[in-house]
Amino acid sequence: MFNIGSLLQNIILFSHLIPLSLFILFLSRNKKIEIRVILFYCLYSFINDFLTTYFFPKGPEGDNSIFILLSIFTLIEYLTFCITIYIILKKTIFKKLILFISPIFLSICAYQFYLDMHRSTIDSISITIEYILLIIFCLFYFFEELNEPKSTFIYSSHKFWIILGILIYFTGTFFFFMQSNDLSDEQWSKWGIINYVFTLIKNLLFSIAIIIKKNTQPDILFKNPYDELFEKRITPL
């Protein structure tokens, strides 16, 4: 019998490989550190989802393995996105806030793992806190962009697509994972489509960040947009 949930699950599993494949095709334009960190996240997500799919039908033993996989994934996901956002941000105050908050969050994760390890349930508390923090960190980027006018469009930067991918994914799946601890297996299968859809969107936005040409030239504020059409620079009146 055709199962759309299984089909979406397989599509999402291999969608993690799209950014990795595009990285190989556009290798020369992807030397930025933040791109490499995102690629590590995509590869780790593929491995984690593959193992989760493998252990899912194995009953209680599989549930314990899935619990460990998802707990570790929460930590890796937070750290990789934090590193990415930290590299992208410019203001020292925002970077210091990330460095101050992160050890506190990691301590909460360790404590919640200890509490939930005997129940093998999804740690929705740590996931909820992770989502809130990363959404706030993403808003730091847009705050910087709004306060630093540039002559180029914001979407011409690979950084914008990375941050947008992170932000859309976490805002789109926030309430799903916040309630995930209370969902039955049947409800999880039914509403898990939400996670599949936003994971696909996230991977596609990361792919755009990889294929977009990286601007290595310093941005010149209020540069005449027509100057590049002529060999000689036009002097504004």
DSSP assignment of 78-96: HHHHHHHHHHH---HHHHH
Query: What pLDDT shows up at residue 123?
Result: 73
Half-sphere exposure of 177 (CA within 13 A, CB side): 23
Q: What is the pLDDT of residue 36?
A: 94
Residue 237 lies in a domain: no
Instruction: Report the CATH number at residue 206.
Output: 1.20.1070
The verdict on residue 143 lying in a domain is yes
In 3D space, the residue among 47, 2, 1, 7 whose CA is nearest the CA of residue 193 turns out to be: 7
State the pLDDT at residue 219: 53
- Owning domain of residue 16: 4-217
Query: Do the domain assignments include residue 229?
Result: no
pTM for this prediction: 0.84
The pLDDT of residue 128 is 92
Structure-token pair, residue 174: 């926030």
The answer as to whether 16 is a domain residue is yes
CA distance 199 to 136: 19
Domain total of the chain: 1
- Whether 75 maps to a domain, the answer reads yes
Question: Is residue 116, in this structure, part of any structural domain at all?
Answer: yes
pLDDT of residue 236: 53
Structural domain contains residue 10: yes
10-residue mean pLDDT series, the chain (237 residues)? 68 92 90 94 94 71 76 94 96 95 94 76 84 96 87 85 97 86 71 88 96 67 44 51
**pLDDT of amino acid 5:** 64
Looking at residue 222, its pLDDT comes to 43
Instruction: Say if 230 falls within a structural domain.
Output: no
Contacts of 193 (CB under 8 A, 6+ apart): 4, 5, 8
